[in-house]
Structure 1
Amino acid sequence: MKKIFTFLLLSVLPLSAHEHHDLEKVSAEMAKAANSLLKSLDEETAKRAQFPFKADERQNWNYVPTSRKGVSLENLSGQQIELVRQLLQSALSDPGLKKVDTIIALEAFLGETENRPDFRNSKAYFTTIFGDPSATGTWGWRFEGHHLSLNYTIIDGKPSSLTPSFFAANPAEVRADHKMKGTRALAAEEDLARALASNIAKTNQAIIFSKKPPREILTRSTRQFDQLAPVGVATKAMNAEQQQALLTLIEEFSKRHRKELNEATMKQIKAEFTMLHFGWAGSLEPEQPFYYRIQSTSFLIEVANVQNKGNHIHAVWRDSANDFAIDILADHIHSDH
């Protein structure tokens, strides 16, 4: 099947000289931040933090509490943690970084309320570098822990893949009598989607493809996946107001990244907008379990808020054609050969 849509910054759409310069600037800042972190580490810690670019570990991503490779916040000094933050800032926007901070704070909340600080460890977030960071080279990096997995691949000095990109929150809303009461790390991702689905449901019941939502995002933490069958309603069947609402919802995911990356992503999405489908499963009522997904041929957003009676939300952005820049790397190697 011809690949109609891929979540690429080196996309089928031509980039202007200005856009190329902006993306090269992002790559340079990523490389500078990654190298600053590596240079701050002692020899033994640096070995744990860095893997070859071609290492199998680069695609070994997950979002559950588990053992991980790399260097954790727990093993870093305050100054080194600030260097990790600078690396995150090289990719994320202020709203994106705030979501990361909130998700990590929720891990501390779970450790406190469940009385399991060893299992719910808010410092068990790991940074891993793949290859040698360079403003013009090919390398990658990951920041990951429970409910977070951020993966970036840079090829020849250009950000070429930002996926898989996983954000989640447990609880989706803090309802306990606690200083974090009312906290919702992914509030807009839920509220905008429900409002749009409810609006469409008034005239097109096909938006609800199942009364029972799946128990989890269907693609899980697979390294690569085949695109799911389209569900729900196609954008071409939506009115102008609904189409704009869908764009706003998608941008809530895209704008987690800094302006240069967000603009390149949204440019591609708008070019392929008529290919998209939006589908909902479960109840449209607040505080009830639900699932939705937005997709084109390969681009996919999945959101599941099913666990804990609909108060534990998982959200992932994936590209079946180019997670970890697999397709670009294949073309790159073939061209070099």
Structure 2
Amino acid sequence: MYAKSILTLGIILVSIWLTQDLFAQDLSSKAKAFLETLDPNLRQKATFPFDHSERFNWHFIPRERKGVNFHDLNPVQTEAGLQLLKASLGLPGQEKTQAIIELENVLRVVENRPPNDTYRDPDNYFFSLFGTPDASGEWGWRFEGHHVSLNFSSKRGTIASATPTFFGSNPGIVQVDLHRGKQVLEKETNLGFAFLESLDESQKAIAIYTDKAPNDILTGNDRKASLQSPKGIGYSQLTKSQQQMLEELIAVYLINYTDSVRDRLWGKVRSTGIQHVHFAWAGSTVNAIGQPHYYRIQHPDLLIEYDNVQNNANHVHTVVRDLNNDFGEDVLGNHYSYGHSHQAE
């Protein structure tokens, strides 16, 4: 099954990445095409009402999940599901997803697990759809497994929300022969350190709020991300070149999305005021395995967290939250306004 999903994933994504869909593409057609490949039992397993509580039951650890995974799907069904995934992400996000899935095989080696182990399993990633895909209506979908949680809401055929978005990497830097030296979240790590190093000592004294990094991202898998007043150094306290570096770091996270999602998130930040962006650091300032560290970028509309503490600081977690529109709050509000309410458990 592993050979099926990973080989199919690689072949399909390489071929369909040659051309990029515009954000205005009707995602509902991709979702419908996927559902049409499923038999009634699989379709029932894969679908939920739009406002079902399962929609908010997201996580990034190995655990039991609802939906259909690669074990359930034949090659035709797998291709249809991956077409929907490709239409929902930018190229870097697609590549990152594939690379994280492949790390499950690295973990089998690191942890000396058998090839058919089901705990570290590249086939154990799930597709779940919420509501009825419709070019004029509201619906959502999720792709999720260990270290990947991608949550989308669609309205009138386009992506109205693409957060929460979680990408993780264990190992952070691979140290076994299978993919030795691979660093899936390299830019997130190295640009974070580069920005920190660009600060002078007085600026670092403001940006570094503690010498101990938290054990994980602070927002966890909360339904709604909430952190109190931002810590660290403000955008207006930076030089022009430092401001540009901070924007480049933000861009590393937003480039995972389709062009229009990326542009809309940037637009919200700039509309509210980019001067409200803060950068906060915790933990070690040494970029090396064994040196726990954390940073976050906080704005009234956007939160980015990065944490590398676990497994001797060689295990990275990152998350992007739209603080006003995770899970398509705007879309869900519109859904409720027309009298739809299920909230089934």
Residue identity opposite 1:87 in structure 2: L
1:311 paired with 2:314, answer yes
Matched, 1:50 2:47: yes
Between the two proteins, the alignment pairs up a number of residues equal to: 312
1:1-337 alignment runs, 5 A limit: 23=23, 25-26=24-25, 28=26, 30-116=27-113, 117-176=117-176, 178-204=177-203, 205-271=205-271, 272-287=273-288, 288-330=291-333, 333-334=336-337
Task: Report the Cα distance in structure 1 between the residues aligned to 2:174 and 2:125, rounded to whole angstroms.
Answer: 22
Q: Is contact 1:280-1:290 (8 Å) kept?
A: yes
The 3-state SS of whatever aligns with 2:264 is helix
Counterpart contact for 2:28–2:157, Cα < 8 Å: no
Q: 1:331 to 1:36 in 2, by over 3 A?
A: closer
CA offsets, 1:28-72, max 9 Å, x none? Answer: 1x2111111110011101110111112111111010001001000
- The code of the aligned residue for 1:303 comes to Y
Give the deviation of 1:328 after TM superposition: 4.7
Q: Take 1:158 and 1:91, find their aligned partners in 2: how far apart are those partners?
A: 9
Equivalent position of 2:15 in the other structure: none
Cα contact 2:60–2:149 (8 A) shared by 1: yes
Is contact 1:103-1:147 (8 Å) kept? yes
- C-alpha distance in 1 between matches for 2:124 and 2:47: 17
Gapped regions of structure 2 (runs ≥ 5): 1-21, 341-345
The separation in 2 between residues aligned to 1:55 and 1:336, in whole angstroms, is 15
SS in 1 for 2:179: coil
2:11 is matched with which residue?
Answer: none
**Counterpart AA for 1:306:** V
Q: How far apart, CA to CA, are the structure 1 residues paired with 2:235 and 2:330? A: 27
Amino acid at match of 1:137: G
For structure 1, the residue ranges without an aligned partner over 5 or more in a row are 1-21
Counterparts of 1:147 and 1:310, CA distance in 2? 16
Could you tell me which amino acid in structure 1 is paired with residue 45 of structure 2? R
Query: Are the aligned partners of 1:201 and 1:207 in contact in 2 as well (CA < 8 Å)?
Result: no
Task: Give the deviation of 1:186 after TM superposition.
Answer: 0.6
Per-residue deviation, 1:107: 1.0
In structure 2, C-alpha distance between the alignment counterparts of 1:50 and 1:95, rounded to whole Å: 27
CA distance in 1, matches of 2:158, 2:87: 13
Q: Which residue of 2 aligns with 1:14?
A: none
- Provide the rounded CA distance (Å) in 2 between the counterparts of 1:130 and 1:34: 11
Q: Is the 8 A contact 1:227 1:320 kept in 2?
A: no
Shift in Å at residue 159 of structure 1? 2.1
Structure 2 CA distance for partners of 1:335 and 1:54, relative to 1, 3 Å: closer
Query: Please, which moves more after superposition, 287-296 or 259-268?
Result: 259-268
Q: 1:276 to 1:306 in 2, by over 3 A?
A: same
Q: CA 1:335–1:124 in structure 2 vs 1: closer, same or farther (change >3 Å)?
A: closer
Equivalent residues of 2:149, 2:165 under 8 A apart: yes
Letter in 1 for 2:53: D
Distance, in Å, in 1 between the alignment partners of 2:30 and 2:158 is 15
| AA matched with 2:136 | T
Which amino acid in 1 is paired with 2:311?
N
Q: Secondary structure of the residue that 2:129 maps to in structure 1? A: strand
User: For 2:53 and 2:130, how far apart are their aligned partners in 1?
Assistant: 10
When the two structures are superposed, what TM-score results if normalisation uses the length of structure 1? 0.88
Alpha-carbon separation, structure 1, partners of 2:236 and 2:338: 37
Write the letter of the residue equivalent to 1:202.
E
SS of the equivalent of 1:90 reads helix
Over aligned residue pairs, what C-alpha RMSD do you find?
1.8
TM-score (norm. length: structure 2): 0.86
Counterparts of 1:87 and 1:155, CA distance in 2: 15
Distance, in Å, in 2 between the alignment partners of 1:155 and 1:188 is 32
Aligned-partner SS, 1:217: coil
Q: Is the 8 A contact 1:111 1:118 kept in 2?
A: no
Letter in 2 for 1:312: H
1:227·1:297 contact (CA, 8 Å) conserved in 2? no
The one-letter amino acid of 1:267's match is G
Output the CA distance in 2 between the equivalents of 1:253 and 1:295.
13
Mapped to 2, the partners of 1:328 and 1:40 lie a distance apart of 27
